[in-house]
Chain A
């Protein structure tokens, strides 16, 4: 138990250091002003979310292949973490878009495909909840996770040929000044650690739940005598 507490505390501490770096160390953007500081966490959480969904798809594939419970629990935990991180990405993106683009949302390729990603994996979590726990839930969810992962690049590319407003990659094209690049890489590393810790903690919860005896809980409505 203490291991998980320590890991969680460490991840939170790392994120606080990242926040300090973002607000104290990096220069203010000349064009956009302080709003640009959203960039660091916005892109980091997007990358961490993609990594989580990769874990979901690979875990699902391994489960279908080997019926490995470890792979299934890993996929389950990563799906929840990925949905949370995608929510962070979307919300921070909207907060950034409003002052810069003048609207919270545009039907841009990147925005649309991220929203689709969120919807697909929210559906994944629902399948987990509605299927009979065990083999059925694991199999069905694995299928959803894999199809979702195939679908997202397609949505991304099929829309990207027609309209874009979201800026393209800045890391690979070397468009960032060095201080910003260092701060970004540091934030990204911290966010990936946070995602890893979240998946690990969730994995532990899922493992404990799996160890519980199976059964359906029916809540007795108040005031009604038991038969």
Chain B
């Protein structure tokens, strides 16, 4: 029970601090829209090729925004030495980690609430419930892994370089399954229910594993 209380308190702290400064979400949302603009110039989007290109653009933009968001969640704490302060309290490290991850997930979901409508607006691809579900399910597992490694690299040198290097290969299962679901939604052959089930399975696996590993990463 105490774990839940601590986790919610940490998450609330992060969300309040983001609400007061309003730095991360507007910047990331702007970045996501900019990524769509770049994709337009890179691919010369028209109504014929948009359904084939949009899934790739969606995941690329999302993955890089997520890296910045998760990296920021721990880098900011580290810069102000509040990470050490939190670890010094009697709060269980796994709960602190869970709280940070919950807040980072919610902030990224806010950015997705900008990205998905923008994708529909600019690329003309459908915005369906399954598409949103696939992106949200992938976000949960990606946030668990991303926050674990963000907590790790915050304590290392060259953290900006190392975070994508460690995180991206571990995110591939989510991109494979999520990418499959989104491609099907945008007109590719196949079914999405297997992909969604896989996403749920990966979410459970990595949320459990990262919670177990959080103790070893946050205990320095």
Contact = CB atoms under 8 A, between A and B. Distances in A.
Instruction: Give the dominant DSSP class at B's interface.
Output: helix
Nearest to A150: B209
A148 B209 CA distance: 12
Contact of B169 (A126, A135, A151): A151
Nearest to B171: A151
A116 B175 CA distance: 13
B101 to A, nearest CB: 15
A143 B198 contact: no
Contacts of A120: 169-170
Nearest to A135: B220
A142 interface: yes
Contacts, number: 69
Interface of B: 145, 148, 152, 155-158, 162, 165-166, 169-170, 172-173, 176-177, 180, 194, 198, 202, 205, 209, 213, 216-217, 219-220
B217 A158 contact: no
9 smallest beta-carbon distances between A and B, as pairs? A158-B176, A154-B173, A130-B156, A119-B169, A123-B166, A120-B169, A123-B165, A116-B169, A139-B216
Given A131-B156, A139-B216, A147 B170 contact: yes
B199 to A, nearest CB: 10
Given A64-B216, A151-B173, 6 more contacts: A120-B169, A123-B166, A127-B152, A136-B155, A142-B216, A151-B172
